[in-house]
Amino acid sequence: MDDIVKAALAKWPNVPDCFGWLGLDARGHWYMRDDRCQRSGPFAVEPGEAVGACKGSRLLHDKLIDFIHRNCAADEAGQWFFQNGPQRVYLELEATPFIWRLQPDGRVLAHTGQDAGMVHRSLLDEQGHLYLATSLGIGLVHTSDMVQAADAVEQGQWVPEPVLAGNLPAAWGFVRSPQRRQAGAARPWLAGTAG
């Protein structure tokens, strides 16, 4: 965490948390979600929902993205957040807390640039998405890297185990939507769903 963030936390310790305003998609891109977007729909649609997703506006400013990467963490409930000065901004996740990028030298890097460390397990869901459980945590392999991932599987480096995508959060201790958890059916687009 940046020193400036730690100083802001010490100066203003009681700033309310923020939900629904920032999302990470399945390709490792960040999206800002204003009130209009949040009223239009969730960041990611859950199975069985008859609503459309509203991702918001993609962030493109490299220094802002780097600042977000340096100041992200998970709380004790597995909810990921960005510590924006004194305010904790909970993240909406389209897939997992990390999106993996496979490197030509065999390393696995997170969308943040962090080295994932050792790959402990590989998992394949019902849609054909590949996840890696690493020393850093659980993450989805970026779609652009699936040819390299297929090579690793063919060479026996990874042996994917079947998994249901809907079971990943509970099994790996993360929350895809802290906003849903916080608001429940209070969101208009959640009315009548199992959210």
Is there a single domain that holds both residue 17 and residue 39? yes
Look over the chain and give the mean of its residue pLDDT values, rounded to a whole number.
90
Is there a single domain that holds both residue 91 and residue 178? yes
Is there a single domain that holds both residue 80 and residue 18? yes
Q: Is residue 35 part of a domain?
A: yes
Percent of the chain beyond pLDDT 90? 76
Report how far residue 58's alpha carbon sits from residue 33's, in angstroms, rounded to the nearest whole number: 9
Is there a single domain that holds both residue 77 and residue 132? no
Is there a single domain that holds both residue 146 and residue 183? no
Average pLDDT value for residue range 2-24: 80
Average pLDDT value for residue range 137-153: 97
Polymer length in residues for the chain: 195
Q: Is residue 195 part of a domain?
A: no
Report how far residue 170's alpha carbon sits from residue 143's, in angstroms, rounded to the nearest whole number: 23
Q: Which domain holds residue 161?
A: 98-169
Average pLDDT value for residue range 145-172: 96
Q: Is the pLDDT higher at 32 or at 190?
A: 32
Report how far residue 160's alpha carbon sits from residue 24's, in angstroms, rounded to the nearest whole number: 24
| 50-93 residue pLDDT tens | 788 999 999 999 999 999 999 999 999 999 999 988 889 999 99
Instruction: Report whether pLDDT(186) > 60.
Output: no
Is there a single domain that holds both residue 127 and residue 44? no
pLDDT at 184: 66
Q: Is residue 58 part of a domain?
A: yes
Report how far residue 101's alpha carbon sits from residue 61's, in angstroms, rounded to the nearest whole number: 20
Is there a single domain that holds both residue 69 and residue 15? yes
Tally of domains in the chain: 2
Instruction: Report whether pLDDT(102) > 70.
Output: yes
Instruction: Report whether pLDDT(187) > 80.
Output: no
